[in-house]
Amino acid sequence: MENFDEYKRLTELKNWRAISALNRVVHDTFGTRKELSALPGHLEPNEVVFAFTSGLMHQTVTSNVTDFGANTWLAVLTNERFLFLDAALLSRAIDSQSVRHDRVSAVSSSQGWMFGKIIIDLGARLITIDNCTKDSVKAMADLANKWLRHQEQNVSAPSVPDKPSDPIELLERLGNLKKLGVLSDEEFQRAKEKILTKL
C-alpha cells in the first residue's frame, strides 16, 4: 500500500495531525482528545495507524453500565484491525473494542449535508459510527477497502520453500506470518500440517 512507511513513521511519532494531513482530512478531535492521548497504549507493537475519526456509537457490551444511549468514540483504522476507544467522563477508564480485518466483509461511508457515517459490515452485524466529519469517513472507508484488497492479494497463496529446511525454522516463520496477519488460522493450520507430515 502506498505511503505505508510514512504512516508507520508518523505512528511511531504519535503525530496524529500529520496522519490527518496525509489523508487530506481536517484534524478533528471533537470529544475524543482523551481517547487520542490514550491511543498509543492500546496499539500493539509495530501496529500502524492509517486513519481515525470521532463519532457516535451506541452502548455496546464493552460499555460501562453507567453509559446510556450514544457516546462519542474514537474509531481507528490500523494495519491489523479497527480499534474503537471511549474514555469515561469522570475517570481515566477507557472502553475499547477491536475488530480484526479478517472479520470484516465490507466498509462503506455515507455523507450527509453536515456529517457522515462509517459502516463496518461484519456479516452477522454492522458497526456504525455516526456524526463524523464527512471527509474523515470517506478517507477511512477508502483506505480500509484498499488495505483489505491488499491483504487478500498477499494471502492468496502462502508458500512453503521447496528446498528442504529445518522444520523448526519453517514453523517459526509460519508463526511469524500468522502473527503479522498474513495467514488466517485455516491457512496456518494447512501449512503447519504440510511441514509436520515431512518429519
Structure confidence by residue, pLDDT tens digits, 95-145: 899 999 999 999 999 988 889 999 999 988 899 999 998 899 999 999 999
Structure confidence by residue, pLDDT tens digits, 38-74: 999 999 999 999 999 999 987 554 444 444 456 889 9
Largest CA distance in the chain: 63
Instruction: Enumerate the CATH 2.30.29.30 domain ranges in the chain, comma separated.
Output: 4-154
DSSP 89-143: SSSS-EEEEEEEGGG--EEEEEE-SSEEEEEEE-SS-EEEEEEEEHHHHHHHHHH
Q: Does domain 4-154 have CATH number 2.30.29.30?
A: yes
Torsion (CA) 107, 93, 19, 122 in degrees, nearest 10: -10
- For cell 469522570, name the residue: 90
The helix or strand, by DSSP H or E, that contains position 11, with its residue range, turns out to be helix 4-12
